Amino acid sequence: MAQIKNHKEKKSRKSKARATLFVAVSPEIFVRIMTMKSAFDIWKFLKKEYEGGERIKGMHILNLIREFELQKMKDSETVKEYSDKLLSIAKKVRLLGSEFPDSRIVQKILVTVSERFEATISSLENTKDLSKVSLAELLNALQAQEQRRLLRSEGFVEGTLATRAQFSQGGKGKKNEKYKKENSANLKQKNGAQVADQKEEEQLFVASCFATSNLSDKWLVDSGCTNHMTFDRDLFKELDTSVVYKVRISNGEYIAVKGKGTVEIESSSGTKLIRDVLFVPNINQNLLSVVQLLEKGFKVILETNQYQIKDSEGKCVFKVKMKGKSFALDPSQEEKKAYSS
């Protein structure tokens, strides 16, 4: 009786294994293996057909690597879609017994990623050793920029700028009404092209600055802000007041950008011109954007508790030490350094 029971269990296991293989393959393969009587025969057929000998495996690996090298990110692809495609190829290579390190995927992404991520790549190049950047770290940095762009494309920008009140409690409604009328009159003076530019620039930046309750002449070096900004009109050497639009902040209100121009900042090596600075009267903290500095040819290097900002020739322009949890550049101190040197 025990032998009969063992025989039935063994036969049942073989039938289950055969049925499992039938379910696992595509309909085209099923037609080719449906007449085979045992799971062992089916497995030998599949192994011979798809794994093959070492020579066949080597050819499969070469084809996959060639496919990997030919990949390039399309403008319509997201970071996740492109990385999933590369990871899928890498997984197939690894399953065939060949090594395929994550560092190779990192290098591939750095070289073939879309141009819209150039600022993020430049930032990583200037602040980190790219040979030591992990795949997860790279993907997180690219996806963060992608999400910021997505927010802007949806028609508004969320910032975390603290604003200072410009209106007293008494007569606040009247002043708001006056501001709206003045702003409306300014906008009507622009031609059609300017209006189109304005709509585009309403989605210009995301700031991640926590301003203090008082006005500060210092410049906060901010990696989350995509544009330089200041509240002080007197700092501008040149100012184009025709650049007018609004930015939405975290409390749901809008603050006005009332111009763009060039600002002079004292450094230990003399006066430096910072171009394309936004004039935003309703903020209370000057901002230096790391992204915009990189776009203008500066090099921004983050060392131990300190930012080094170098010009295109590699000469150090600013050294900004961390105080508290921020990096604040004080022009008055830089001016003293310039005079003492």
Q: What are phi and psi of 208, to 5 degrees?
A: -125, 50
Position 266 scores a pLDDT of: 79
Q: What is the mean pLDDT of the chain?
A: 76
| Shared domain check, 84 and 193 | no
pLDDT at 205 over 90: no
| Shared domain check, 252 and 188 | yes
Residue where one domain finishes, among candidates 125, 153, 181: 153
Position 248 scores a pLDDT of: 63
Q: How confident is the model at residue 282 (pLDDT cuts 50, 70, 90)?
A: confident
Cα–Cα dist 264/266, whole Å: 7
Q: How confident is the model at residue 336 (pLDDT cuts 50, 70, 90)?
A: low
Position 311 scores a pLDDT of: 82
| Shared domain check, 203 and 87 | no
Q: How confident is the model at residue 50 (pLDDT cuts 50, 70, 90)?
A: low
Position 239 scores a pLDDT of: 92
Residue where one domain finishes, among candidates 104, 125, 153: 153
Q: Looking at per-residue confidence, does 180 or 244 come out higher?
A: 244
| Shared domain check, 129 and 193 | no
Is residue 218, in this structure, part of any structural domain at all? yes
| Shared domain check, 116 and 208 | no
| Shared domain check, 185 and 148 | no
Q: Which domain holds residue 317?
A: 172-340
pLDDT digits (tens, 9 = 90+) for 164-175: 434 344 444 444
Kindly report the CATH number assigned to the domain that includes residue 303. Answer: 2.40.70
DSSP-derived letter for residue 130 is: G
- Tokens representing 225 are 């802000």
pLDDT digits (tens, 9 = 90+) for 54-79: 777 788 889 999 999 999 999 889 99
Q: Which residues of 14-50 are buried (b: 16+ CB within 10 A; e: fewer)?
A: eeeebeebeeeeeeebeeebeebeebeebeeebeeee
